[in-house]
Structure 1
Amino acid sequence: MISVIGAGAFGTALAISMARGGAQVTLWARDAAQVAAMRDGRENATRLPGMTFPETLHVTEDATDLPDGPVLLSVPMQMLRTALRDLPDFGPRPLVACCKGIELSTRLSPTQVIADMRPDAPSAILTGPSFAQDIARGLPTALTLACAEDGIGRSLQKTLTTQNIRIYRTTDVPGAEIGGAVKNVMAIACGAAIGAGLGESARAALMTRGYAEMQRMALALGARADTLAGLSGFGDLTLTCTSELSRNYRYGLSIGNSAEFDPDITVEGAATARALQARAQAMTLDMPITDAVVGLIDGTLGVRDAMTLLLSRPLKEE
């Protein structure tokens, strides 16, 4: 039995995929009207229209009604603390973060927020290259399940693997979390470059040097280099920086071509860029692309000015 907190596109897609194989899955949403609509229509018409719920997928607005088993927290990173504050105590059940980023107010990662709010609950993070539409349609992908406690990680890996989601396991939680956070910031940078007409070569350069920034911070936090070369690092970076299905990439496009962007769409990379910049400064780490993205978001830099600054940095070895 599996519970998914948050009926956005990604949480709904995970619930569909896991229930499709016959697992008993309960999807929780705060809005009673949304829950009623999903029950009646057997789909999440506002977030994933046309994706029919399997028979073993149940929906509820009552968080005390969740069954035993792991709880997947599929809420925006900046709302994770609030969700954990408002939800009931789940006891010893593992809490699995399904969000990517750094909390702006505290500079904490998803599992660190869980540990802060629910210190007695085992925590993990599910991350990697994945779009909700692909998962819900049953298209294949592979994800990383990072859990410091290997025994719990093994159990979660077995429980959460589905017919179309292959899950790899690691105990390197910092590496998985930094990969998922930094790639969103780099997707904004790449979208801005393409939107401004700077070309594919500029995007490739930003991805490559962005990967270097990802490694720089992760390794300083004790992560392993092979984690960053895997699904949660290089894999997710590649997907997010090259597809318009990525909200962060589309947001960057809008900056680059001076277009309006829907303010109701959550862009995790915007808050994460500021949090990463603050953390990097505290750690005395050089992260120039992250700095440039913050300037783009705040409106203190134009895209071409940002690129000029990056190109005019002192020459050095790669």
Structure 2
Amino acid sequence: MGKIAVLGAGAWGTALAITAARAGNEVTIWAREPEVVSAINDKRENSLFLPDVEVPSSIAAVGDYAELEKPDFLLMVAPAQFVRSVAADLSTTLRESVPVVLCSKGIEQSTGKLMSDVMAEVMPKNPLAVLSGPSFAIEAARGLPTAVTIASKYQKLAQSLAQAIGQPTFRPYLSRDVVGAEIGGAVKNVFAIACGVVAGKKLGENARAALITRSLAEMVRFGESRGADPETMVGLSGLGDLILTCSSPLSRNMSLGMALGEGKDIAEIMDNRKTVAEGYHTSEILHRVAAEDKIDMPIARAVYDLLHGDKDVDEVIAELLSRPISKEEMF
């Protein structure tokens, strides 16, 4: 039995805590909301973010960083745009020898930096790993088969983490490509919004399949510009996560796109959401970086125009469909 701390009690943080506990670990989960702390400790549930799932008694919820007692691993599951501030607060209490496992998917909006770059600035002495892959929280929490990538330049760390949380229904695969694992998890959220628009507008399965394939091409281009291995892009944390999040309204990002495709206003959609659709924030910085670095990403640009520009759904679709015919290239 090991000790694992989970920072963030949203749906994915709670699911990871349950997964770690199911593997035999003693788990402490930090939650920002006092009502979530109480619900987990007293009722063994997180009805706010992951309802209808029992939380094992080996999980203790806390509301103070200082109560994350000397873990063997800390899983960082705060929303991407808050990772820097959370890490800065955490750095005053967490030992420098504790490995931090990034489970947050996104690009920092203010700087364009990946989460690993943020952590290198804020907590430079803590060994780092990334956990990413096709994983709906509710399915992982219920013990349905799930496979993920654990990426780290410290392979012994990655192996130790895999042994600590791995089990027949939660299978980790190891990688050294931290940047590739992060990029797949971040940019697929933007493409999921596009696939949601296709579903909301009822454009058909042909269109969705084409969009996923061309989204992968854009993902590979962006990844290569940041030094990622193209092989990672077609693995679990790239293509696997892209397929999942573009295929089901269980995806917060796809459901956002569906609402847009059905004619709803983006401000209204965001106001009525209690959970974060990271693709909304990532689309702005992804568009900016792609433009600055001259990376051809027309689908990402279309999503940006919908969310942050002044174009409507029909206009954006017409522009994509009227692009000049070109050679199909993936790598």
**TM-score normalized with structure 1 length:** 0.96
Could you tell me how far apart the structure 2 residues matched to 1:30 and 1:308 are? 43
Name stretches of at least 5 consecutive residues in structure 1 with no aligned partner.
none
The partner residue of 2:82 within 75, 79, 84 is: 79
Aligned residue runs from structure 1 range 185-264, under 5 A:
185-259=190-264, 260-261=268-269, 262-264=272-274
Cα RMSD for the two superposed structures = 1.4
Identity rate, percent: 45
Residues 254-263 or 136-145, more deviating = 254-263
Aligned residue runs from structure 1 range 20-35, under 5 A:
20-35=22-37
- Deviation per CA, 1:219-244: give whole Å up to 9, x if none: 12221121111100110000000101
The partner residue of 2:171 within 147, 166, 170 is: 166
Residues 181-190 or 296-305, more deviating = 296-305
- Deviation per CA, 1:15-46: give whole Å up to 9, x if none: 01111232111111123333122211011121
Counterpart of 2:173 in 1: which secondary structure?
Answer: strand
The partner residue of 1:54 within 38, 56, 66 is: 56
Q: Provide the residue aligned with 1:70 in structure 2.
A: 73
Distance apart, 1:163 and its partner CA: 4.3
**TM-score normalized with structure 2 length:** 0.92
Could you tell me how far apart the structure 2 residues matched to 1:201 and 1:310 are? 15
Q: Does 1:114 align with 2:105?
A: no
Q: Provide the residue aligned with 1:130 in structure 2.
A: 135
Residues 61-70 or 168-177, more deviating = 61-70
The partner residue of 1:278 within 264, 282, 288 is: 288
Q: Does 1:152 align with 2:157?
A: yes
8 Å CA contact 1:17–1:164 kept in 2: the answer is no
Counterpart of 2:143 in 1: which secondary structure?
Answer: coil
8 Å CA contact 1:5–1:27 kept in 2: the answer is yes
Counterpart of 1:126 in 2: which secondary structure?
Answer: strand
- The AA in structure 1 aligned to 2:235 is G
Counterpart of 1:78 in 2: which secondary structure?
Answer: helix
Counterpart of 1:2 in 2: which secondary structure?
Answer: strand
Could you tell me how far apart the structure 2 residues matched to 1:152 and 1:143 are? 16
Counterpart of 1:184 in 2: which secondary structure?
Answer: helix
Could you tell me how far apart the structure 1 residues matched to 2:317 and 2:47 are? 41
Counterpart of 1:108 in 2: which secondary structure?
Answer: coil
Could you tell me how far apart the structure 2 residues matched to 1:241 and 1:185 are? 10
Aligned residue runs from structure 1 range 287-302, under 5 A:
287-302=297-312
Distance apart, 1:59 and its partner CA: 1.4
- Deviation per CA, 1:181-211: give whole Å up to 9, x if none: 1111100001012111222211111111100
Distance apart, 1:299 and its partner CA: 4.8
Counterpart of 2:20 in 1: which secondary structure?
Answer: helix
Q: Does 1:89 align with 2:93?
A: yes
- The AA in structure 2 aligned to 1:253 is M
Residues 135-144 or 87-96, more deviating = 87-96
8 Å CA contact 1:144–1:176 kept in 2: the answer is yes
Could you tell me how far apart the structure 2 residues matched to 1:33 and 1:264 are? 15
